[in-house]
Structure 1
Amino acid sequence: MTTTAPPLLLDRDPLPDRFDDVDALDEFLSRPTSATVADLAALDGDVIVLGVAGKMGLGLARLIKRAAPHKRVVGVARFSDAGSREYLEEHGVEAITADLLDREAVEALPKLPNVIYMAGLKFDYRGREDFLWAMNTLVPGYVAEAFRDSRIVALSTIHVYPWSDPRRGGVTEEVPPLARPGEYANSVVGRERTFQYFSRLHGTPGRIVRFVYAIDMRYGVLQEIADWVKTGTPIPLATGNVNIQWQGDAINQFVRLLAHCETPATPINIGGPECVSVRHVAQEFGRRFGVAPVFEGEESDSALFVNCERAQHLLGNPVVGVERMIDWVADWVERGQPLYGKPSKFQVRTGIF
């Protein structure tokens, strides 16, 4: 009789001291938690991930398959980046090539009962603002109509919130999404409202995930600060505090929200519990690199900081803490390991990316 070995779990198995290479990093990023395994086991039906080919989607789809190997897991994208389709198939995820702006293509997708929506456009939209709005408002409408009988967990962003004084605890889900400067944030408000409209219209259970800055070795707030410290680049302090979360923790929580959908769809802030000081992080990298960080300006009284207590009550605290992430990123940057070259632009205060 053959037995299947239990998956490596983020919250059970030892955390590594470092990541030797990209393969080791990707394996760790796709580890489920024991709660994810339990939630997926109790969840009826298979899972489809729309917009799977982004920085987080590939690991999320692999994580679902590791946590629930007997479920059908489908990833949908245009797959314009070389190797992304092959990566999914190598790890047991069925890949379907489709343009989500094509309504007929969306309607032809398998109507699985659990949907994680990760599609959208964030940066690099100058000169194609119409495409930004189409991706962030039309596509959600197509998906919400086609998958009206499914559960839908849809990713949003904390950029829909106003800036606030982090000393007051951060913005909660009760604060309405604000029409901020810049078309990106406004278009994402449109995305949220579109999903909520169809959720109310069809009785579709859902969650709107207002997610903080993800931390991976190859991109994110910590990688950017580490690079600035190492190269002697002045570190802007006006946005002096940030929300961050280990990407592996984040995608586990995204998946678990399938078991916590509401009708109509409601927002939830997903992120770490700490208000993380940019100055402190830079000083920690400086200590590890043996250099003095160079700072520019002073901390303002406002930041894009959100309160994640609702998620902590529902899903628990993240497994990976800030100091551990700083250790990992410092080691990765110091060894000159691969980077995505896609900045978070967390320091940008105009809303125009």
Structure 2
Amino acid sequence: MSQGFTSEAELEARLVAPSAGLVEDFAKGAGDLVILGAGGKMGPTLAVLARNALNAAGREHDTVYAVSRFGEASVRERLAQAGVEVIPFDLVENDSLDALPDAPNVVFMVGAKFGAATSPSWAWEVNAALPDRIARRYRNSAIAALSTGNVYPFVPASSGGASEDVAPAPIGEYAQSCLGRERVFEFAAQERGTRVSIVRLNYAVDLRYGVLADIGSAVHAGEPVSVDTANVNVVWQGYANEVVLRSLTHASTDVFTINLTGPETLSVEAVAQRFGGLLGRAVTIVGEPQPTALLNDSSRCMALFGYPSVSAQTLIEWQAQWIEANLPMTAKPTKWAVRDGKF
């Protein structure tokens, strides 16, 4: 069994270690980078990863700016210690974005998911209206916009997942507003010549949160695992952050769109049973498997950026060790099994 981590510090160190491919991309001439929404689940490690990759590429003078409300002082301190310039800023509340730094590269990570069913106007403001202001502020930059696989329809597991050529058919206000985000950035590309990459992610795993944390924690606690949604995709967060950053080199006025997930289509029941074996727990399966699920085909991503350095099976083993060691969790469930689009 693959040896995992004994602390958050060890996990963080692995997540922010750049690959040779990322360093090579940055060495070609990266420039300053603004990360909008850098205080979320993926943002802090993405910011430090970018800083480390720039250093390794000999571009120490390029600045990484992390922009967020930053509710947790510890996150700000950790980023500053890593050489990231922290900018506390509320992107929604501030009418003007002029105070934000200029940069040739921008990563847009801001999003509203949970609560979208009860406050849909908030989801549309954050996911669709705000991107228009960002696209205007950074019209001359390359923008990598993080999106979601939720914009696709549910597909059979046997299909291998929805490819980028499948027409979006979002279910629910969250997914619809995310498609709105994509369309706004597409408009900027078409009308103002902004170079854009759109990255449709589902689902990142960093052991403190994610689909595997949800399933593994349920098994460990003796709670039933529903298999109504019988299959799922996951991807190591270290790889996910790398692809987001490397997608900037593909940003185009034609809008570069890519699915970001792991190459495996996982059986939820098989994952639960594996956790049962690793954690020494009996597994209770409930529900009736439905014929479709939210699944993405990441073949294009694999062809461009290579396969993730960590497989799904290794992630399951690491996750079990993390749970058994009672290491910190974010207590933010992914709600990956939701089928009606209401988050």
The bucket for the TM-score relative to the shorter chain is over 0.9
8 A Cα contact 1:236 1:297, kept in partner: yes
What is the CA–CA distance in structure 1 between the aligned matches of 2:2 and 2:315, rounded to whole Å?
Answer: 11
Structure 2: segments with no counterpart, 5+ residues: none
Identify the residue that residue 143 of structure 1 maps to in structure 2.
134
Please tell me the residue identity of whatever aligns with 2:106. Answer: V
CA RMSD of aligned residues (A): 1.5
Residue 87, structure 1, aligned to residue 68, structure 2: no
Identify the residue that residue 54 of structure 1 maps to in structure 2.
40
8 A Cα contact 1:213 1:244, kept in partner: yes
Q: Against the structure 1 CA distance between its residues 27 and 134, is the aligned structure 2 distance closer, same or farther, given a 3 Å change threshold?
A: same
TM superposition shift of 1:204: 1.1
What is the CA–CA distance in structure 2 between the aligned matches of 1:96 and 1:294, rounded to whole Å?
Answer: 46
Mapping 1:125-274, distance limit 5 Å: 125=116, 127-180=118-171, 182-274=172-264
TM superposition shift of 1:16: 7.5
8 A Cα contact 2:116 2:342, kept in partner: no
Identify the residue that residue 21 of structure 2 maps to in structure 1.
35
TM superposition shift of 1:246: 0.5
Q: 1:44 aligns with which of 4, 26, 30?
A: 30
TM-score, structure 1 as length reference: 0.92
Residue 106 of structure 1: SS of its match in structure 2? coil
Q: Percent identity?
A: 41
Identify the residue that residue 116 of structure 1 maps to in structure 2.
107
Residue 218 of structure 1: SS of its match in structure 2? coil
Residue 258 of structure 2: SS of its match in structure 1? strand
TM superposition shift of 1:59: 0.1
8 A Cα contact 2:145 2:196, kept in partner: yes
Q: Deviations over 1:205-247 (max 9, x none)?
A: 1111100111111111111111111122111001111110000
What is the CA–CA distance in structure 1 between the aligned matches of 2:281 and 2:77, rounded to whole Å?
Answer: 41
TM superposition shift of 1:149: 0.5
Please tell me the residue identity of whatever aligns with 1:237. Answer: V
What is the CA–CA distance in structure 1 between the aligned matches of 2:185 and 2:140, rounded to whole Å?
Answer: 13
Identify the residue that residue 278 of structure 2 maps to in structure 1.
288
TM-score, structure 2 as length reference: 0.95
Identify the residue that residue 4 of structure 1 maps to in structure 2.
none
8 A Cα contact 1:103 1:142, kept in partner: no
The size of the alignment, in residue pairs, is 338
Q: Deviations over 1:314-350 (max 9, x none)?
A: 1111110112111111011011111100001111111
Q: Against the structure 1 CA distance between its residues 107 and 16, is the aligned structure 2 distance closer, same or farther, given a 3 Å change threshold?
A: farther
8 A Cα contact 2:150 2:170, kept in partner: no
What is the CA–CA distance in structure 2 between the aligned matches of 1:24 and 1:34, rounded to whole Å?
Answer: 20
Q: Deviations over 1:157-202 (max 9, x none)?
A: 011110010202211111222242x211111111110011011111
TM superposition shift of 1:107: 2.5
TM superposition shift of 1:102: 4.6
Identify the residue that residue 92 of structure 2 maps to in structure 1.
101
Residue 130 of structure 2: SS of its match in structure 1? helix
What is the CA–CA distance in structure 2 between the aligned matches of 1:326 and 1:137, rounded to whole Å?
Answer: 35
Please tell me the residue identity of whatever aligns with 1:112. Answer: A
Please tell me the residue identity of whatever aligns with 2:168. Answer: P
